[in-house]
Amino acid sequence: DQQVKQNSPSLSVQEGRISILNCDYTNSMFDYFLWYKKYPAEGPTFLISISSIKDKNEDGRFTVFLNKSAKHLSLHIVPSQPGDSAVYFCAASERGGADGLTFGKGTHLIIQP
Amino acid sequence: SQTIHQWPATLVQPVGSPLSLECTVEGTSNPNLYWYRQAAGRGLQLLFYSVGIGQISSEVPQNLSASRPQDRQFILSSKKLLLSDSGFYLCAWTDLAGGGLRSTGELFFGEGSRLTVL
Protein backbone atom coordinates (compact mmCIF):
# COMPACT_ATOMS: atom_id res chain seq x y z
CA ASP A 1 0.00 0.00 0.00
CA GLN A 2 1.76 3.10 -1.25
CA GLN A 3 0.78 6.03 0.95
CA VAL A 4 2.77 8.66 -0.96
CA LYS A 5 2.58 8.57 -4.73
CA GLN A 6 4.54 10.38 -7.38
CA ASN A 7 2.99 9.24 -10.62
CA SER A 8 5.47 10.86 -12.97
CA PRO A 9 8.79 9.00 -13.02
CA SER A 10 10.36 11.77 -15.08
CA LEU A 11 9.72 15.32 -16.21
CA SER A 12 11.56 17.37 -18.81
CA VAL A 13 11.42 21.18 -18.64
CA GLN A 14 13.17 23.90 -20.57
CA GLU A 15 15.59 26.12 -18.68
CA GLY A 16 13.89 29.29 -17.45
CA ARG A 17 10.41 27.75 -17.45
CA ILE A 18 8.39 26.55 -14.49
CA SER A 19 8.80 22.99 -13.23
CA ILE A 20 5.80 21.47 -11.47
CA LEU A 21 6.23 18.21 -9.59
CA ASN A 22 3.17 16.49 -8.22
CA CYS A 23 2.55 14.24 -5.26
CA ASP A 24 -0.56 12.51 -3.90
CA TYR A 25 -1.06 10.84 -0.53
CA THR A 26 -3.65 8.58 1.02
CA ASN A 27 -2.97 8.77 4.76
CA SER A 28 -5.08 11.54 6.28
CA MET A 29 -2.94 11.39 9.45
CA PHE A 30 0.05 12.94 7.70
CA ASP A 31 0.66 16.37 9.17
CA TYR A 32 3.88 17.43 7.50
CA PHE A 33 5.04 17.18 3.94
CA LEU A 34 8.57 17.59 2.68
CA TRP A 35 10.42 17.66 -0.60
CA TYR A 36 13.90 16.26 -0.97
CA LYS A 37 16.31 16.61 -3.86
CA LYS A 38 18.75 13.85 -4.73
CA TYR A 39 21.71 13.71 -7.06
CA PRO A 40 23.08 10.32 -8.19
CA ALA A 41 25.22 8.52 -5.61
CA GLU A 42 24.46 11.12 -2.94
CA GLY A 43 22.09 11.26 -0.01
CA PRO A 44 18.88 13.28 -0.39
CA THR A 45 18.94 16.86 0.82
CA PHE A 46 15.99 18.69 2.29
CA LEU A 47 14.43 21.30 0.04
CA ILE A 48 11.20 22.65 1.49
CA SER A 49 8.36 21.57 3.74
CA ILE A 50 4.79 22.49 4.56
CA SER A 51 2.57 21.92 7.54
CA SER A 52 -0.90 20.52 7.03
CA ILE A 53 -2.35 23.70 8.50
CA LYS A 54 -1.00 25.74 5.60
CA ASP A 55 -1.70 25.65 1.89
CA LYS A 56 1.43 27.35 0.59
CA ASN A 57 5.06 27.76 1.56
CA GLU A 58 7.60 29.67 -0.47
CA ASP A 59 11.39 29.73 -0.31
CA GLY A 60 13.14 31.56 -3.10
CA ARG A 61 12.51 29.79 -6.40
CA PHE A 62 10.69 26.94 -4.66
CA THR A 63 7.04 26.94 -3.66
CA VAL A 64 5.06 24.04 -2.27
CA PHE A 65 1.27 23.99 -2.49
CA LEU A 66 -0.93 21.72 -0.40
CA ASN A 67 -4.54 20.82 -1.21
CA LYS A 68 -5.73 18.81 1.78
CA SER A 69 -9.16 18.04 0.42
CA ALA A 70 -7.59 16.49 -2.66
CA LYS A 71 -4.70 14.98 -0.68
CA HIS A 72 -2.37 16.52 -3.22
CA LEU A 73 0.74 18.64 -3.07
CA SER A 74 2.97 20.13 -5.70
CA LEU A 75 6.40 21.66 -5.89
CA HIS A 76 6.91 24.60 -8.22
CA ILE A 77 10.37 25.66 -9.30
CA VAL A 78 10.60 28.92 -11.15
CA PRO A 79 12.67 29.71 -13.06
CA SER A 80 14.14 26.27 -13.62
CA GLN A 81 17.93 26.07 -13.78
CA PRO A 82 20.29 23.34 -15.03
CA GLY A 83 21.39 22.59 -11.46
CA ASP A 84 17.80 21.65 -10.65
CA SER A 85 18.19 18.46 -12.67
CA ALA A 86 17.88 15.74 -10.02
CA VAL A 87 15.43 13.25 -8.57
CA TYR A 88 12.83 14.87 -6.33
CA PHE A 89 11.19 12.89 -3.56
CA CYS A 90 7.96 13.83 -1.89
CA ALA A 91 7.77 12.71 1.75
CA ALA A 92 5.24 12.86 4.54
CA SER A 93 5.27 12.42 8.29
CA GLU A 94 2.79 12.01 11.10
CA ARG A 95 3.07 12.51 14.84
CA GLY A 96 6.14 14.67 14.44
CA GLY A 97 7.99 12.14 12.32
CA ALA A 98 9.48 10.08 15.15
CA ASP A 99 9.05 6.85 13.21
CA GLY A 100 10.48 8.17 9.97
CA LEU A 101 9.26 9.69 6.76
CA THR A 102 7.22 7.95 4.09
CA PHE A 103 8.63 8.68 0.66
CA GLY A 104 7.24 8.57 -2.84
CA LYS A 105 9.14 6.83 -5.64
CA GLY A 106 10.60 10.10 -6.89
CA THR A 107 10.41 12.15 -10.08
CA HIS A 108 13.49 12.64 -12.22
CA LEU A 109 13.50 16.28 -13.31
CA ILE A 110 15.56 17.07 -16.38
CA ILE A 111 16.21 20.71 -17.22
CA GLN A 112 16.98 21.19 -20.89
CA PRO A 113 19.06 24.15 -22.10
CA SER B 1 27.33 21.57 13.63
CA GLN B 2 25.94 18.10 13.16
CA THR B 3 27.38 15.68 10.62
CA ILE B 4 26.55 12.17 9.55
CA HIS B 5 28.90 9.68 7.95
CA GLN B 6 28.34 6.22 6.61
CA TRP B 7 30.70 3.67 5.10
CA PRO B 8 31.73 1.99 3.00
CA ALA B 9 30.57 4.12 0.06
CA THR B 10 30.53 1.19 -2.34
CA LEU B 11 30.49 -2.53 -1.76
CA VAL B 12 30.38 -5.52 -4.09
CA GLN B 13 29.57 -8.75 -2.32
CA PRO B 14 28.76 -12.31 -3.44
CA VAL B 15 25.41 -13.90 -2.63
CA GLY B 16 25.49 -15.53 0.78
CA SER B 17 28.22 -13.33 2.20
CA PRO B 18 27.74 -11.16 5.31
CA LEU B 19 27.19 -7.41 5.33
CA SER B 20 28.02 -4.59 7.70
CA LEU B 21 27.29 -0.95 6.97
CA GLU B 22 28.14 1.59 9.60
CA CYS B 23 26.76 5.04 10.28
CA THR B 24 27.82 7.61 12.85
CA VAL B 25 26.41 11.00 13.75
CA GLU B 26 28.43 13.78 15.34
CA GLY B 27 27.44 16.98 17.03
CA THR B 28 24.21 15.82 18.61
CA SER B 29 23.07 13.47 21.33
CA ASN B 30 20.25 10.96 21.47
CA PRO B 31 19.26 11.32 17.82
CA ASN B 32 16.64 9.19 16.15
CA LEU B 33 18.47 7.09 13.56
CA TYR B 34 17.14 5.49 10.38
CA TRP B 35 18.20 3.12 7.62
CA TYR B 36 16.56 3.59 4.23
CA ARG B 37 17.10 1.72 0.99
CA GLN B 38 16.67 3.11 -2.49
CA ALA B 39 16.05 0.24 -4.89
CA ALA B 40 15.33 0.64 -8.58
CA GLY B 41 11.78 1.85 -9.15
CA ARG B 42 10.87 1.73 -5.47
CA GLY B 43 11.79 5.10 -4.06
CA LEU B 44 13.11 5.35 -0.53
CA GLN B 45 12.01 2.52 1.70
CA LEU B 46 12.36 2.71 5.47
CA LEU B 47 14.08 -0.41 6.81
CA PHE B 48 14.81 0.30 10.47
CA TYR B 49 14.66 3.13 12.93
CA SER B 50 15.99 3.60 16.44
CA VAL B 51 14.98 6.04 19.16
CA GLY B 52 17.77 5.04 21.54
CA ILE B 53 20.61 2.64 22.32
CA GLY B 54 19.54 -0.94 21.81
CA GLN B 55 16.07 0.10 20.57
CA ILE B 56 15.37 -1.03 17.02
CA SER B 57 12.11 -0.98 15.10
CA SER B 58 11.83 -2.91 11.86
CA GLU B 59 9.54 -1.70 9.12
CA VAL B 60 10.10 -4.35 6.47
CA PRO B 61 10.60 -8.08 7.07
CA GLN B 62 13.82 -9.18 5.41
CA ASN B 63 17.14 -10.86 6.03
CA LEU B 64 18.68 -7.61 7.26
CA SER B 65 19.13 -6.51 10.86
CA ALA B 66 20.17 -3.32 12.60
CA SER B 67 21.91 -2.56 15.85
CA ARG B 68 22.66 0.55 17.84
CA PRO B 69 25.55 -0.24 20.18
CA GLN B 70 26.23 3.42 20.99
CA ASP B 71 24.14 6.57 21.06
CA ARG B 72 25.42 7.90 17.74
CA GLN B 73 26.24 4.68 15.94
CA PHE B 74 23.85 2.68 13.78
CA ILE B 75 24.84 -0.54 12.02
CA LEU B 76 23.04 -2.42 9.25
CA SER B 77 23.94 -6.09 8.94
CA SER B 78 23.13 -9.29 7.19
CA LYS B 79 24.40 -12.82 7.77
CA LYS B 80 23.72 -13.94 4.19
CA LEU B 81 23.10 -11.48 1.38
CA LEU B 82 20.53 -12.08 -1.34
CA LEU B 83 20.57 -10.69 -4.87
CA SER B 84 17.53 -8.60 -3.95
CA ASP B 85 19.54 -6.81 -1.27
CA SER B 86 21.32 -4.78 -3.94
CA GLY B 87 20.57 -1.09 -3.66
CA PHE B 88 21.60 2.26 -2.33
CA TYR B 89 21.47 2.35 1.48
CA LEU B 90 21.03 5.59 3.31
CA CYS B 91 21.46 6.37 6.96
CA ALA B 92 19.60 9.38 8.36
CA TRP B 93 19.07 11.14 11.64
CA THR B 94 16.70 13.58 13.25
CA ASP B 95 16.76 15.29 16.61
CA LEU B 96 13.25 15.36 17.96
CA ALA B 97 14.41 17.30 20.99
CA GLY B 98 15.61 20.05 18.67
CA GLY B 99 12.53 22.20 18.78
CA GLY B 100 11.94 23.03 15.13
CA LEU B 101 12.83 19.58 13.91
CA ARG B 102 10.18 18.06 16.12
CA SER B 103 7.46 19.73 14.13
CA THR B 104 8.59 18.69 10.67
CA GLY B 105 10.21 15.29 10.92
CA GLU B 106 12.99 16.55 8.66
CA LEU B 107 15.68 13.95 8.19
CA PHE B 108 19.34 14.54 7.47
CA PHE B 109 20.88 11.90 5.26
CA GLY B 110 24.35 10.47 4.95
CA GLU B 111 26.21 10.11 1.68
CA GLY B 112 24.83 6.64 0.98
CA SER B 113 26.35 3.20 0.42
CA ARG B 114 25.98 1.44 -2.90
CA LEU B 115 25.68 -2.33 -2.41
CA THR B 116 25.87 -4.70 -5.36
CA VAL B 117 25.23 -8.36 -4.67
CA LEU B 118 26.48 -10.70 -7.40
Per mean pLDDT, which of A72-76, B82-86, B90-94 is the most reliable? A72-76
Q: Measure CB to CB from residue B57 to each of A89, A99, A103 and give the nearest one.
A: A99
Q: What is the mean pLDDT of residues A27-43?
A: 92
pLDDT value at B16 more than 50: yes
Question: Is B103–A106 a contact, with Cβ atoms under 8 angstroms apart?
Answer: no
Rounded Cα–Cα distance for residues B89 and B112 (Å): 5
pLDDT value at A45 more than 60: yes
pLDDT in tens, B26-79: 998 889 999 999 877 778 888 999 988 999 988 876 789 999 999 999 999 999
Question: Is B46–A97 a contact, with Cβ atoms under 8 angstroms apart?
Answer: no
Q: A83 CB contacts (<8 Å, ≥6 apart)?
A: A111
Rounded Cα–Cα distance for residues A98 and B107 (Å): 10
Strand order in the sheet with A72-77: A4-5, A19-25, A72-77, A62-67, A56-59
Which pLDDT does position B59 carry in this prediction? Answer: 82
DSSP states of A59-87: ETTEEEEEETTTTEEEEEESS--GGG-EE
Q: Which residue of A has its CA nearest to B105?
A: A97
Of B35, B32, B49, nearest to B88 by C-alpha is B35
pLDDT value at A87 more than 80: yes
Q: Which residue of A has its CA nearest to B90?
A: A43
Q: Which residue of A has its CA nearest to B40?
A: A105
